[in-house]
Amino acid sequence: MSAAVVNPVGWAVRFYEAPIGKKAVMAITGFMLVGYVLAHMLGNLQIYSSNPNQINIYAAFLHNPANAGLLWGARTVLLLAVILHITAAVQLFFQNRAARPIAYVKKDDVPASYAARTMVWSGPIVAAFVIYHVLHLTVGAVMPLAPELGLNQPNVRANVIAGFQNYGVSAFYIFAMILLCMHLYHGIWSMCQSLGVSHPRYTRWLKKASAVLAILIAIGNCSIPIAVMTGLLTIN
Ligand code: HEM
């Protein structure tokens, strides 16, 4: 009796070619990206610390050459996750369109929320926001970054506050955060389904939990430009 030999690479390729394979890639990379967005928001909330320098101390820790391996490792993993997430999303979009070339005549028949129907454009706008954001606060291409406070210690507090004192910049951030919230709401919920963490009995609760997490992230992020515009957060 001969055992069937399974080629793992061939199996992975065939799995990815099916819609479920792409959904699995989107779910796993989406999970990593949600984790980053949540951790990043918690890090940013240090701007409210009673010690005005707290967020700069945190940034100095991240920029410390001793942590360079960790930082570049995380950046590489994150970038790969973004690339895989977008590639799978685009391929899935075209695969679905090819499978159903004629759209539903009456869209109301499709039981999809507003957030679900807007995934196709909330995703690209959030991606464009991330590029703008990195150019703004990491590269300093949108407006010049404040001088460093010491060796490898960026003045993140001054950079963030000076940026949000511009109402146009703040408005764009708030708009992007609202779209991110919608994208996360549907994304987290779909991720649970793709990873099999769903059961008709828990659907309502999973949807609520996804909404709560997405709204908390939006509130935490939007609070910063709002606090700057209302004068609650000032550089000195
Ligand atoms: C009001 C909300 C936000 C604030 C105040 C903020 C603040 C910052 C700051 C200060 C940096 C530079 C950090 C440093 O050089 O040490 C940064 C980098 C970054 N942020 Fe944000 N951020 C916000 C929202 C977001 C969101 C929603 C995303 C993703 C969807 C995001 C993704 C990134 C990325 C990818 C970087 C580059 C990280 C790196 O250089 O390794 N940020 N952010």
> Does residue 174 form part of some domain?
yes
User: Tell me: the pLDDT tens digits for 97-143?
Assistant: 888 766 555 444 444 567 677 888 899 999 999 999 999 999 999 99
> Does residue 1 form part of some domain?
no
Q: In total, how many domains does the chain have?
A: 1
> Does residue 3 form part of some domain?
no
99 lies in which domain range? 21-229
Q: What is the mean pLDDT of the chain?
A: 90
Cα distance between residue 137 and residue 159, in whole Å:
7
> Does residue 113 form part of some domain?
yes
> Does residue 63 form part of some domain?
yes
The protein residue with its alpha carbon nearest to ligand 1, atom 6, reads: 44
> Does residue 12 form part of some domain?
no
4 forms beta bridges with: none
pTM: 0.90
> Does residue 5 form part of some domain?
no
User: Residue 140 maps to which CATH number?
Assistant: 1.20.1300
> Does residue 89 form part of some domain?
yes
Q: What's the 137 CA to ligand 1 centre distance in angstroms?
A: 7
Backbone angles phi, psi at 153, to 5 degrees: -120, 90
Q: What's the 185 CA to ligand 1 centre distance in angstroms?
A: 20
Residue 48: pLDDT over 50: yes
Residue 127 beta carbon below 6 angstroms from any ligand 1 atom: no
